[in-house]
């Protein structure tokens, strides 16, 4: 999947890279990478999944949080040492002349804190379906949060409790269909 974030001040430049989706459940989408300082400053991101042969794309936007240490450590501990090292390739260290020396140096420096897990909790999802005539259909789902339901409930003068809004921590999803 493609992960897009906004860089730190003063530039706030957007950046994107491909990371491996490691899990998806009702809480969100999970991936592991080296610690990303841009997510500490601006904990929001966008994920994109693209399937060119079927002309489909999914975009997911939302807030990002670091996984608890036990979840990140569990993932790191399941990986073989040889598979941990490539993930640490961006760590700066002393100059080494051979691949074997580099691998040994990185194994010696390996720390679980470098491989951090993140979870994006979606607020907006777009499902794109292309067609041969270059037209496309887009379905957009936007999450409404419990705070919005509480505000709607408190301003509803009909006494119906917000016109049937559910509420809860998960919120509800509103579906729109767009043609373009």
Residue-level pLDDT at 41: 86
pLDDT tens-digit series, residues 28-66: 999 988 766 788 888 999 999 999 999 999 999 999 999
Return left, alpha or beta for 126; rule: phi > 0 is left, psi -120 to 50 is alpha, else beta.
beta
Does residue 148 surpass a pLDDT of 60? no
Residue-level pLDDT at 54: 92
pLDDT tens-digit series, residues 159-173: 433 333 333 346 788
Q: Which of 66, 180, 159 is nearest to 117 (CA)?
A: 66
């Amino acid at each position: 999947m493609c992960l897009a974030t906004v860089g730190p001040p003063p530039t706030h430049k957007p950046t994107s890279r491909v990371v491996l989706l490691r899990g998806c459940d009702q809480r969100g989408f999970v991936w592991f990478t080296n610690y990303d300082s841009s997510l500490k400053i601006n904990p929001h991101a966008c994920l994109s999944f693209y399937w060119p042969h079927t002309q489909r794309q999914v975009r997911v936007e939302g807030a990002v949080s670091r996984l608890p240490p036990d979840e990140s450590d569990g993932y790191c501990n399941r990986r073989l040492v040889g598979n941990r090292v490539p993930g640490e390739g961006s760590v700066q260290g002393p100059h080494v002349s051979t691949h074997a020396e580099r691998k040994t140096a990185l194994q010696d420096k390996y720390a679980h804190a470098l491989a951090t897990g993140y979870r994006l909790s979606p607020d907006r999802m777009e499902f794109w379906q292309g067609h041969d005539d270059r037209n496309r259909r887009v379905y957009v789902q936007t999450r409404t949060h419990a705070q919005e339901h509480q505000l709607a409930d408190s301003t509803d003068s009909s006494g119906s409790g917000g016109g049937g809004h559910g509420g809860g921590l998960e919120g509800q999803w509103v579906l729109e269909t767009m043609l373009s």
